């Protein structure tokens, strides 16, 4: 009869303590415990005369994009890096001058990649664009006039229609 192998306590204790320690070490080094973030988007409504508030996210649906003189940046799938760089320069100029008359419009063609849309949205965040709307295949970037309207007595007020 073959001798019976002994299971030693230090061996089991080593496995019980070593495996969870290795798992924690792996999770800490891979960055899986870091918080993730998201960009909040407000989308235009189908009905251009109604401003609605999304009940799930609490974000407003804007009516039509603001009327501005837009400079078009066409993203067609060819030379997109150059177009995005030109768009970055226009957005930087728009933000620095606080221009409320002009704007930048990114037009995404049928061959444009999703990555280019993400780069354009990242461009808005990096250049600190105050207002931007994603509508269909277009990304509108503009500045808002932050002055509230005044009544006849000079009191400032803000109209809300929800």
For residues 131 and 67, which has the higher predicted lDDT (pLDDT)?
131
> What is the per-residue pLDDT across 73-106, written as a single tens digit (0 to 9) for each?
888 888 888 999 999 999 999 988 888 888 888 9
- 7 within some domain: no
- 73 within some domain: yes
- 21 within some domain: no
- 131 within some domain: yes
Q: What would the mean pLDDT of 116-131 be, rounded to a whole number? A: 88
* Domain housing 113: 66-142
- 4 within some domain: no
**CA-based torsion, 85, 91, 93, 96: positive or negative:** negative
CATH number at residue 83: 3.30.1370
- 56 within some domain: no
Please tell me the total count of domains within the chain: 1
Ramachandran sector of residue 98 (left: φ over 0; alpha: ψ -120 to 50; beta: rest): left
Distance of CA 62 to the CA centre of its chain: 17
């Amino acid at each position: 009869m073959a001798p019976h192998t002994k299971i030693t306590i230090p061996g089991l204790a080593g496995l019980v303590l070593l495996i969870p320690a290795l798992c924690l070490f792996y999770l800490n080094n891979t960055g899986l415990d870091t918080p993730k973030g998201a960009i909040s988007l407000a989308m235009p409504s189908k009905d251009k005369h109604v401003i609605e508030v999304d009940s799930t996210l609490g974000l407003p649906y804007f009516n039509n994009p603001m009327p501005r003189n837009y400079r078009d940046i066409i993203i067609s799938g060819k030379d997109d890096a150059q177009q995005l760089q030109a768009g970055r320069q226009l957005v930087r100029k728009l933000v620095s001058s606080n221009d409320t008359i002009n704007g930048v419009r990114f037009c995404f063609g049928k061959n444009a990649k999703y990555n280019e849309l993400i780069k354009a949205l990242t461009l808005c965040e990096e250049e600190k664009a105050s207002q931007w709307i994603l509508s269909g295949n277009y990304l509108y970037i503009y500045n808002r006039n932050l002055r509230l309207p005044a009544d006849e007595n000079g009191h400032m007020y803000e109209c809300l229609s929800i």
